[in-house]
Structure 1
Amino acid sequence: MLNSEQAEPLYIQLQKAVKTAIHNGTFTQGGRIPTETELSETYNVSRITVRKAIAELVHEGYLTKRQGKGTFVNVPKIGRRIEHVISFTAACKSNGLSSHSVVTEREILEADEEIAPQLQLQQGEKVLYIQRKRYAGDRPLMLENNFYPYDRFAFLMDEQLEGSVYELLRNKYSIDPNQPGETILQISLADEYQAKLLETAIGQALFYMHTIIYDQHGSPVHVGKQYIIGDRYQFSI
């Protein structure tokens, strides 16, 4: 309960109480918090005090107000530097989140006029295409589409691929994907297929990242075409 006799203003005490409720899971990430009236009654403060505390928490990024729907706890964004080669698993870990992956497609294709030169192949040579749905915590965040030179990476057909492919390549096959090539970042909108897999709305803003990753010898490892839910991820340069 808040204490009006403390030197600390009531709205700041309420801010701290709401933050504590977020951190201990009482107010869940992505969930709606109680209304101003409910908070006023729960903490025995005026609605003016509640409004000021909520406004500060919105400004600090803890909460988001949605017109006509209420106030919601923000889901923390996962951050990574765009020019560094860091696996999704490592990015989640550095941001305090667990991660896992589900393989949704795995097939052998022919290199087309776009993929062939990027993988240093001839058109028509075999390419291993692997699509994975990648989770941060218990929610899908990324739809990963990677294209590997088949002759060199055929072994990935038999791997589970629930965790980091980069760690697997380093630890089991002595292939170190440590050199990023050209990376293009664009904004895209989720189509019906992407929205279904990512469990989001059609038209949701996504980051589309096209990248080429090379190993320690300068040989291409994969071309990546990744779709990432935009409001849960941030890039720094």
Structure 2
Amino acid sequence: MAVKYKEIADSLERDIQEGKFNQSKKLPTEDELIKAFDVSRNTIRKAIHQLVNRGLVYQVQGSGMFLREESVTDYINLGSLRGLTKDLISKSIETKILELQVLEADEEKAKQLRCDVGTKLYFIKRLRMVDDEPFSIEISYFKKDIVPYLNEDIASSSIYSYLIDDLKLNIAFADKVINCEKIDEASARLLQVNPQDPALIIENTVCLANGTIFELSKSIFHYQKAKILNRINFK
């Protein structure tokens, strides 16, 4: 089930996107949110922390939570676990399925996913197009006992919307490793770059709230198009 503070954060994000707070440029007070959602102060603070991590609000000590300006958009947000469609909201995104199959974890994948050799995994390879141009190649492994069903319709849109909204997975945190490599010939053809051109690589190990790893993924980005955003909040 989705955690209450995440449900509240999602509700407030929708309100922000719909312009509900445009006049005041700030969120209601903690006390007002506690009353509106009938939850504890701790729950509201966790929800607000989610909005801060999503880059939607910032805190002014003693004055409340203010909306951030929308000038910084269309970046890959390292603090987000919600996928490309949530980061590049002003862009047209198309997904082409290159591979989708169920396979068994070998020794390497079993070690990375902390599961038994032979564990059933969904393997998905996708080409993400942004404004009709190749943007990234995504290679993902999902544990089938946690994500029991995936098909091309789901994989062609936002997998993370499916995981969060439909499967109600409580996705808590991820380890992200960023590096650059020279791109191989097959990937170069897909991204329409030259073999041995540089490629930005982000590898993700994603966990549920109980610490269980359920996804291992690698994204290979077009080096001229991908921009990374990491928001830092000082208290």
Band the TM-score falls in, shorter-chain normalisation = 0.5 to 0.7
Q: Is the 8 A contact 1:204 1:229 kept in 2?
A: no
Aligned to 2:108: 114
Q: Which of 195, 198, 205 matches 1:202?
A: 195
Q: Is the 8 A contact 2:76 2:88 kept in 1?
A: no
Deviation at 1:158, TM superposition (A): 5.9
Give the TM-score of the pair, scaled to structure 1: 0.61
Q: Which of 52, 67, 75 matches 1:79?
A: 75
Distance change (3 Å), C-alpha of 1:192 and 1:101: same
In the alignment, the residues of structure 2 paired with residue 208 and residue 234 of structure 1 have an alpha-carbon distance, to the nearest angstrom, of: 12
Distance change (3 Å), C-alpha of 1:217 and 1:100: farther
Q: Which of 183, 186, 200 matches 2:179?
A: 186
Aligned to 1:150: 144
Structure 2, unpaired ranges of 5+: 1-72, 231-235
Aligned to 1:211: 204
Deviation at 1:233, TM superposition (A): 1.1
Aligned to 2:99: 105
Deviation at 1:155, TM superposition (A): 0.6
Distance change (3 Å), C-alpha of 1:78 and 1:190: farther
In the alignment, the residues of structure 2 paired with residue 88 and residue 236 of structure 1 have an alpha-carbon distance, to the nearest angstrom, of: 13
In the alignment, the residues of structure 2 paired with residue 206 and residue 78 of structure 1 have an alpha-carbon distance, to the nearest angstrom, of: 19
Look up the equivalent residue of 2:101 and give its one-letter code: E
Q: Deviations over 1:117-171 (max 9, x none)?
A: 3323112222211001111111110100000112332311464422111111112
Aligned to 1:231: 224
* Runs of 4+, deviation exceeding 3 Å: 157-160
Deviation at 1:215, TM superposition (A): 2.7
Structure 1, unpaired ranges of 5+: 1-76
Aligned pairs for 1:8-47 within 5 A: none
Distance change (3 Å), C-alpha of 1:117 and 1:141: same
> How many residues in Structure 1 have an aligned counterpart in Structure 2?
159
Q: Which of 74, 85, 88 matches 2:84?
A: 88
In the alignment, the residues of structure 1 paired with residue 134 and residue 152 of structure 2 have an alpha-carbon distance, to the nearest angstrom, of: 23
Aligned pairs for 1:117-132 within 5 A: 117-132=111-126
Percent identity, aligned pairs only?
20
Q: Is the 8 A contact 1:78 1:232 kept in 2?
A: no
Aligned to 1:35: none
Q: Is the 8 A contact 1:111 1:123 kept in 2?
A: yes
Calculate the aligned-residue CA RMSD, in Å. 2.2
Aligned to 1:44: none
